[in-house]
Amino acid sequence: MERPERAVSLLCAHIHGPWADPREIGFSFLVGYNAFMDAAGKPEHGPEEWCVVAGFISTVERWADFELCWNMLLQKHEIPYLQMSALHARKKPYTDSKWEDADYMASFLAEAGEMVRGHVLTWGADVVKNEDFAKACISRPGLPKFINAYGLCGTAVALRLQMGWILYHFRQMERASVEHFFEEGDSGVDGIGRAFRRAGMSQPIVRPGKPRKDAPGIRYYVQFQAADWLAFETRKMAKKYWPNKPQIRKSLQALLRNVKGEAKVWKYDDLIKFCDLKIAKGEME
């Protein structure tokens, strides 16, 4: 039970007796949730590339604890942040010889994966192939004016995370506050605010996910580093297996073990249906 619920339950028990149910008496809970999302793949990388936006949702309290634990993990392994693409390419800050040791790498990722799983509530990922999005833009010329691939995947995964957890687990609660965070600098992130407005959602928050050399005093959010890991693995899976051989890579299975979630691959037909729906509603030309 999270702290806001526990406080209300104790107050209710003090007033109405130990067996009282706060919801039956009329209490409601306000629990804050944050969803952190990151992207992988870029439009300029060609038609065979995939645009991926993936992330996790959890309570504000759990994310705060994650931040403390994650920073201790980074300090233990003497790295300033986790970025999966740089780690696998052995680029800075992973040029030390210890990262060439497969056992050391496996031990680090196992420890990091356990930490992620212990703090998040659910995961989500939305994926579209650049080639399919480009074809849809030709068939429906209003699509690129309405939304870009990042905006489509980012809005969809935000809704997926919010609905998948809030409605499933806290359907008895009357109120829940959700804020959506996207990492600063992602290709296409500039259009996410417009996409959220059109979807009737509160404005997303764009923040850095690792230290900035040009502004060392600005706070960064290590929660994005967990989302980066998920986006990296999802992109690898998309390029290797989708759409003909849908299966989950073992490395992704290790990260998501026993954590519920869902991935959506936006194929060409899905994009056309999306456009036609928006055209019918008068939202798209």
- Chain segment 135-185, per-residue pLDDT in tens: 999 999 999 988 999 999 999 999 888 776 655 455 444 456 789 999 988
- Mean pLDDT across 245-260: 76
Q: Where are the beta strands (DSSP E) in 8-142?
A: 30-40, 50-59, 122-129
3-state class of 15 per DSSP?
A: helix
Reported as half-sphere exposure (CB side, CA atoms, 13 A), residue 251 has a value of: 17
Phi, psi (5° rounding) for residue 206? -105, 120
The pLDDT value recorded for residue 245 is 58
Mean predicted confidence (pLDDT) in 36-65: 88
Q: 60 pLDDT exceeds 70?
A: yes
Average pLDDT, the chain: 83
pLDDT of amino acid 7: 46
Q: What percent of the chain lies above the pLDDT cut of 90?
A: 53
User: What class has domain 29-280?
Assistant: alpha beta
How confident is residue 214, by pLDDT bands cut at 50, 70 and 90? confident
| β-bridge pairing 50-59 and 30-40 | antiparallel
d(CA 160, CA 204): 15
Specify the range with the lowest mean pLDDT, choosing from 13-17, 64-68, 160-164: 13-17
Q: Are 155 and 37 in contact (CB under 8 A)?
A: no
pLDDT digits (tens, 9 = 90+) for 71-117: 999 999 999 999 999 999 999 999 999 999 999 999 999 999 999 99
- Give the residue extent of every domain in the chain: 29-280
pLDDT in tens, 89-98: 999 999 999 9
